[in-house]
Amino acid sequence: MRPTALIRIQPPLTRAPFFTCQLLSQTRKTSTKSPSIQEPLKPGTILKSDSGQSYRIDEILADRRKPLLCVYRASTARSNYIIKNMIPGEFNYQLDLQKPLSARPHVRAVIDTVREQELFIYPFLTGDLLRLSRKALSKPSRREILRGALCGLVDLHNRDILHNDIKPNNVLLNYEEHHGGEIVINKVQIPDLEDTVIVPSGKWLKGPLCGNAIWRSPESWCRSRQNQASDVFSFGIMMIYVMISEMVFRVSDDQLEAPDSWRYILRRHLSYFADEDGLNGFLGHIGKENPFHERLLALANTFTLEDPRQPFTRWQYVDPDLRDLVGKMTNLEPTRRITAKEALRHCWFSQTT
């Protein structure tokens, strides 16, 4: 097979309409009321929720102040829970966004509140997909976990919600390990709705650098127009990790921490997922005025016959149906990616082995 070297660049395409959302609060109805407590709750504290349930604070999992945004592990006599401070002023916005999702089995949404202290209460799940993927899971089990997580993403996208941070440790699970190493999955959910944004169909979010460096979409790296297609890209990258144990954008620590870390990671984007049409479309998507337009042109020209691109579609050791599905989810041009709902209907999810 002839190696793929240079990519021809064509003039950028016409840009589609977008709306700008530099700060999440610009699109939200915020409250002027602030919680009176500005110190973390101490372990042993008993909270009375708006439903009348009593919760005991067992542990501070994250301590962040100014503003106070802590995460706690809590319990009742029957179950464990997670309690979070809401961003000041966003209690009502988040409640309106999350309450309709509370009944969705694959989304972890608020189930109780303490309005006076602007606290949300969530179910506690025992693990996450980042760690569970390292265990001896069968391929069918891995596929079913991904199916459940994708169902959760479809639920969000059906309500025009952009998650912004799809990655393996943002897929939570309840599971049991039995004698002999068998792992039984009981629940799969997408959490962390606090940083989500509503992006109506046909619109775009522009400006923020969303998500984690080794999972985020190329348009997020470029601070260009983002929407639900950006979640789909990140989900496709996560599928590669879950099914073949490869973090395709995991560069060295030195490169990851470098001021120009984009250089090393986006070169991999081009190597694995940028065919000629996709790159030309992506350049049109971000526009000539975006500084990454010239940066990507320069990166594209670093591939040679001696150091060619390595398109994911040619990774012969990967299941052909998986290659096809991930390829459709990770097209460099956002408008050419399949939707989460379309991905869920792909034949790969019908496999049984």
For the chain, give the mean pLDDT.
Answer: 90
- The structural domains of the chain, with segments of one domain joined by +, span 32-123, 127-350
Q: Tens of pLDDT along 189-221? A: 999 999 899 999 989 998 888 889 999 999 999
Is residue 4 scored above 60 in pLDDT?
no
CA-nearest of 275, 166, 160 to 211 is 166
Say what percent of the chain tops pLDDT 70. 90
Is the entire prediction scored with pTM above 0.85? yes
Cα maximum dimension of the chain: 68
Q: What is the β-pairing status of strands 112-114 and 161-162?
A: unpaired
- Do residues 106 and 189 make contact, with C-beta atoms less than 8 angstroms apart? yes
Which pLDDT does position 331 carry in this prediction? 97
Q: Are 215 and 233 in contact (CB under 8 A)?
A: no
309-323 pLDDT, tens digit each: 999 999 999 999 999
Q: Please, which pLDDT band fits residue 290 given cuts at 50, 70 and 90?
A: very high
Secondary-structure class of domain 32-123 per CATH:
alpha beta
Pick the closest to residue 253 from 263, 261, 245, 242 (CA basis): 261
Q: How does residue 330 score in pLDDT terms, banded at 50, 70 and 90?
A: very high
Give me the residues paired with residue 85 across strands. 119
Give the residue-averaged pLDDT of 53-82: 95
Question: What gap in Å lies between CA 278 and CA 291, rounded to an integer?
Answer: 18
| Distance from C-alpha of 287 to C-alpha of 13, rounded to nearest angstrom | 8
Per-residue b/e over 54-74, b at no fewer than 16 CB within 10 Å? ebbbbeeeeeeeeebebbbbb
Query: Residue 352's pLDDT is what?
Result: 80
For residue 309 the two structure tokens come to: 């691109």
pLDDT, residue 37, reads 62
Q: Are 176 and 183 in contact (CB under 8 A)?
A: yes
- pLDDT tens-digit series, residues 69-108: 999 999 999 999 999 999 999 999 999 999 999 999 999 9
Taking only the tens place, the pLDDT of each residue in 130-183 is 999 999 899 999 999 999 999 999 999 999 999 999 999 999 999 998 887 788
In the three-class reduction of DSSP (H, G, I as helix; E, B as strand; rest coil), residue 76 is classed as: coil
Query: What is the structure's pLDDT at 189?
Result: 98
Give CA–CA dist 114/119, Å, rounded: 5
Q: Where are the alpha helices (DSSP H) in the chain?
A: 91-98, 129-132, 139-158, 218-221, 228-244, 253-256, 261-273, 276-286, 291-300, 320-329, 340-344
Q: 211 or 10, which is more confident? A: 211
CB atoms within 10 A of CB 323: 19
In the CATH hierarchy, which top-level class contains the domain 127-350? mainly alpha
The pLDDT of residue 182 is 83
Judge residue 138's burial from the number of C-beta atoms within 10 Å of its C-beta, 0-12 exposed, 13-18 middle, 19 or more buried. exposed
What pLDDT digit, counting tens, does each position of 20-50 carry?
Answer: 343 333 445 544 455 556 789 999 999 999 9
Report the range of poorest mean pLDDT among 86-90, 225-229, 284-288, 338-342: 86-90
